[in-house]
Structure 1
């Protein structure tokens, strides 16, 4: 078993275990809220919006001509994340922690979280930032560590504000990463087949 497979299995196990402690974790994290952390995580929430993520990553791959061949895999990964997240949210319809009145939420965040399709599981934001990791790793191996830290903070911010349970962000992160890995592996396979011809 390789290292990546082991990590994925451990994340799945962590997600399963967290299901049993979601409520306690959400309540516990809400107790550490303060003005400083609120401002930090609000900033992270703002820069992790769908449009900003899309335009930033697109710009990143447009910097050099030879990087542009990975624009399509990036867009496919992001697009699949949107579609799969939507399907799962509608199918599972898990209410968010604040909607279950387990924790409070900042008024500035409440309105955007009441869209009729916008349920808790999985975390769309986590899927979005994590699906880009395999693509970034391929072309920007040094930058990937910065992106992984950013992705982790995005996932944490969702739990911090009571927008998601821990299991929501674990599932979103894993599904997003697997989507990105699937797209990249298909591209690599297609390039290999083309070279053989």
Structure 2
């Protein structure tokens, strides 16, 4: 895609996200009608495996497993870490209640015990931002996993809507911001090799 096309595509996504704010309440209610016990259990599993701890250790193990990929472990950690920090800052700054907190949908009993106190705001979706931030790095180093990770990222994003813990605009914004974080980290690494230099300095490679 040419530079002009990329710019138009980017602005198209931004406009789509802005438009989604106007339909958030309707969409989140419509999505809640899809609930049933089988789908509930499926997305509960997706929620479990998409926790930040599991994502961190699984992706770290993947890069450490292949020796020639280990130089990318620090860019990976930078991408995930920036997602955590930026997500927290935006949540506190925007201060947007979650759909179930506004009474738009009911929270499943199995999620009643989940703690939302430290992340008690809806915008943006942290889980979505986290999984999407890894996409550019995985594309660059593990292209065979591209389709799998995209499918997983989409399921994670939809699970947040399905359970009524985020609005559509939260998820779309989280995905875009996360992807941009990963993309910027990849570009910096390709230009500076800073992650490789840190790895070689620490492990004397």
Task: Please report how far the alpha carbon of residue 14 of structure 1 lies from its aligned counterpart in structure 2 after TM superposition.
Answer: 1.6
Task: Please report how far the alpha carbon of residue 6 of structure 1 lies from its aligned counterpart in structure 2 after TM superposition.
Answer: 4.2
Secondary structure of the 2:71 match is: helix
Q: Distance in 1 between matches of 2:188 and 2:96?
A: 32
Does 1:132 find its partner at 2:139? no
Secondary structure of the 1:98 match is: helix
Q: Distance in 1 between matches of 2:149 and 2:11?
A: 22
1:109 corresponds in structure 2 to 111
1:49 corresponds in structure 2 to 51
Counterparts in 2 of 1:38 and 1:117: CA distance versus 1, 3 Å? closer
Q: Distance in 2 between matches of 1:144 and 1:93?
A: 34
Q: Distance in 2 between matches of 1:111 and 1:7?
A: 40
Q: Is the contact made by 1:15 and 1:171 (CA closer than 8 Å) also made in structure 2? A: yes
1:74 to 73, 76, 91: 76
Q: Distance in 2 between matches of 1:66 and 1:120?
A: 39
2:151 corresponds in structure 1 to 149
Count of matched residue pairs: 193
Q: Distance in 2 between matches of 1:185 and 1:5?
A: 17
2:38 corresponds in structure 1 to 36
- In angstroms, what is the RMSD of aligned CA positions? 1.7
1:49-82 deviation per Cα after TM superposition (whole angstroms, max 9, x unaligned): 0111000000110121110011000000000000
**Which segment is superposed worse, 10-19 or 128-137?**
10-19
Q: Distance in 1 between matches of 2:6 and 2:125?
A: 22
Moved over 6 A (4+): none
Task: Please report how far the alpha carbon of residue 4 of structure 1 lies from its aligned counterpart in structure 2 after TM superposition.
Answer: 4.6
- Where do 5+ consecutive residues of structure 2 fail to align? 197-205
- Where do 5+ consecutive residues of structure 1 fail to align? none
Q: Distance in 2 between matches of 1:38 and 1:170?
A: 22
Q: Distance in 2 between matches of 1:88 and 1:7?
A: 24
Counterparts in 2 of 1:117 and 1:38: CA distance versus 1, 3 Å? closer
Q: Distance in 1 between matches of 2:132 and 2:6?
A: 15
Secondary structure of the 2:143 match is: coil
TM-score by length of 1: 0.93
Does 1:63 find its partner at 2:65? yes
Q: Distance in 1 between matches of 2:61 and 2:6?
A: 29
Q: Distance in 2 between matches of 1:140 and 1:25?
A: 35
